[in-house]
Chains A and B, each alone.
Chain A
Amino acid sequence: MDAAIRTASAMPVQEMGTETDTRDYLAHARTHARKAGYADWTIVDIDAHHVETVHWHEIIDYIEDPVLRHQATMYQKERIGAPPYGLNGDLGLRYQDVGGRIPHQSSRREKVDEPGVHLDVALTRRAMDALCVDYMVLFPTPMLFIGMHPQVEMEAVLSNAYNRWLAENVLSAEDGILSLAVLPFNSPDAACRTVEEFGANPNVIGFTVTSTRYKPVHSNEYMRLYRMIEETGKPIAFHAGYHWQDPSLATCNSFLGMHALGFVWCNLVHMTNWILNGIPERFPKLNSLWVESGLSWVPFLMQRLDDQYLMRQSEAPLLTKMPSDYMRESCFYTCQPLEKSSEVGLKATLEMINAETQLLYASDWPHFDFDAPRAIYDIPFLTEDQKRNILGRNAARLFNLPKKDSARKAA
């Protein structure tokens, strides 16, 4: 072989793991962003996550009730081998990382040496820079199950503590990090207090119902809450989750099957009740946002409800048009995890939901089924204008987000 042959440079990271820096992990996304010229695009990521339980010892300080706060402090300080104080959920059944195959889902133990900067702020900024997004909405992770808490009042206690901790320690540090405050939905009065407390906070751009719960969203007890949210001009979001103990899902023996169904099932039920009980008719200015169920369930439900509605209109008398019309006009959707194995199916889906105005980009970073912006950018049948709408303009419109200086994105 010719002695003049050059030697290739070894990549600095040979195998990615839980200690890999987010910027290395997402370097390919950053490269794509440069090639695509995202510096002058507005990109809004409506659904990313942090692991709030890493900072549970901080969050419990925000528990209002002095007795519970003391209990929590003692528990966190002295109890060995226990999950975070007061938190429900199947904490040992988190198989999202497929047995270690997807390390960023397991944990992010990367080195962060930024004195005075909260860890979650530093990690979120790294992800924002790598994905080239202007705004990133942070959701909790284990707390997505809090709607199944056996103590109804604890949902409110912990949600309030989390919302306050997040606002004071994370949202206040970076105007690009946003939140949809977690509503203690099983306690409607407490949920109303959440709207009162955060309605005027510019970094709280809406309110979240964690969808994993057995509550009828059309119950009269929620009408005051919906009125209050409508008056803020901010949307209500239904963030999907799973519940493996659900009797049907308990027949699934794999996380694959349970997760594929579970993250859709809860929103299928809530959307059905939302539409058939005419919530969009009662609160015409209240926008709803359906998060992390993917999209393929929407055309299914549109067709299913339309078909049945025509035969049984008397059971949904508040409706003045077809269920699919409401789902297309007053409902917004996040794209992730975008089902893209069939181009025919995807095209029909995007047309049926009127993606050009109703679809919002979401990464779900750092979870195993996250979508980088190229999940939208690479869709072959979309125009650049449609891609720009989905990746950012629709969200900027829905949430009244100002255009940001793109200097950091261009760096």
Chain B
Amino acid sequence: METVRVGSVEEFAPLPARKVVEIGGEEVGVFRLDDGFYAWRNNCPHQGGPVCQGRIYNRVLETLDAGRRSLGRRYDEERVNIVCPWHGLEYDIRTGRHPGNDGMALEPVAVQVQNGEVYVSL
């Protein structure tokens, strides 16, 4: 396993921020949210798309009232998804999981911060 510097913490702004890097032929997306850093292989489990190079969207929710009637959709302010630009599959940036299918998830990469620098190991 090799540890590689991705950049300084300050580079990851404004939030949500991301840096997609190439390390010896492997592509990794490093994300910074308000509670820390997350890193995933840039490879969508659906069809191998460049998932980490997609757009970032908050998760969409649907609100029901007490009578189970729909009140329409809204954005979840906490959960943030990365969207694969090939086919639109969304993955929670914190968990790597598809919001509608727990069995579908991104491959994690170890990420750490030391002395204001961000490193990944793979």
Query: Which residues of A are in contact with B by a Cβ distance under 8 Å?
Result: 1-2, 5-11, 13-17, 25, 27-29, 32, 98-104, 368-372, 374-375
Return A24 CB to nearest CB of chain B, in Å: 9
Q: Is the CB of B83 within 8 A of A27?
A: no
Chain B residues positioned under 8 Å from A369 (CB to CB): 87
Q: Is the CB of B47 within 8 A of A9?
A: no
Which residues of B from 30 to 82 have beta carbons under 8 Å from A?
42-43, 47-50, 53-55, 57
- B12-37 toward A: CB 8 Å interface, digit per residue (1/0)? 00000011111100011000000000
The contact sample of 21 A-B pairs, CB cut-off 8 A, is A1-B114, A1-B115, A6-B5, A7-B5, A7-B6, A7-B7, A8-B4, A8-B6, A8-B23, A15-B53, A15-B55, A16-B53, A28-B43, A101-B54, A101-B57, A101-B85, A101-B88, A101-B90, A102-B87, A103-B85, A104-B85
CA distance A17 to B5 in the complex (A): 27
Q: Is the CB of B4 within 8 A of A11?
A: no
Our pick among A2, A16, A368, A371 for the contact of B54 (Cβ within 8 Å) is A16
Chain B residues positioned under 8 Å from A25 (CB to CB): 85
CA distance A104 to B4 in the complex (A): 32
Q: Is the CB of B3 within 8 A of A5?
A: yes
Our pick among B50, B88, B114 for the contact of A28 (Cβ within 8 Å) is B50
Q: Is the CB of A14 within 8 A of B5?
A: no
Q: Is the CB of A101 within 8 A of B117?
A: no
CA distance A249 to B3 in the complex (A): 54
Q: Is the CB of B20 within 8 A of A10?
A: yes
Q: How large is the interface on B (under 10, 10 to 19, 20 to 34, 35 or more residues)?
A: 20 to 34
Q: Is the CB of B19 within 8 A of A10?
A: yes
Return A6 CB to nearest CB of chain B, in Å: 6
Our pick among B21, B22, B48, B55 for the contact of A374 (Cβ within 8 Å) is B48
Query: Which residues of B are in contact with A by a Cβ distance under 8 Å?
Result: 3-7, 18-23, 27-28, 42-43, 47-50, 53-55, 57, 83, 85-88, 90, 114-115, 117, 119-120
Chain A residues positioned under 8 Å from B42 (CB to CB): 11
Our pick among A9, A13, A32, A100 for the contact of B55 (Cβ within 8 Å) is A100
Chain B residues positioned under 8 Å from A375 (CB to CB): 47
User: With A7-B4, A8-B28 in contact, is A368–B87 under 8 Å at CB?
Assistant: yes
Q: Is the CB of A5 within 8 A of B87?
A: no
Q: Is the CB of B47 within 8 A of A101?
A: no
Return A199 CB to nearest CB of chain B, in Å: 37
CA distance A1 to B3 in the complex (A): 9
CA distance A100 to B85 in the complex (A): 9
CA distance A370 to B53 in the complex (A): 18
Quick one: closest B residue to A369, CB to CB?
B87
Interface-centre pick from A7, A16, A25, A101 (highest chain B CB count, 10 A): A101
Interface-centre pick from A6, A13, A17, A102 (highest chain B CB count, 10 A): A102
Interface-centre pick from A6, A8, A369, A371 (highest chain B CB count, 10 A): A8
Quick one: closest A residue to B112, CB to CB?
A1
Quick one: closest B residue to A103, CB to CB?
B85
Quick one: closest B residue to A96, CB to CB?
B88
CA distance A391 to B27 in the complex (A): 28
Our pick among B43, B87, B120 for the contact of A8 (Cβ within 8 Å) is B120
Q: Is the CB of B54 within 8 A of A15?
A: yes
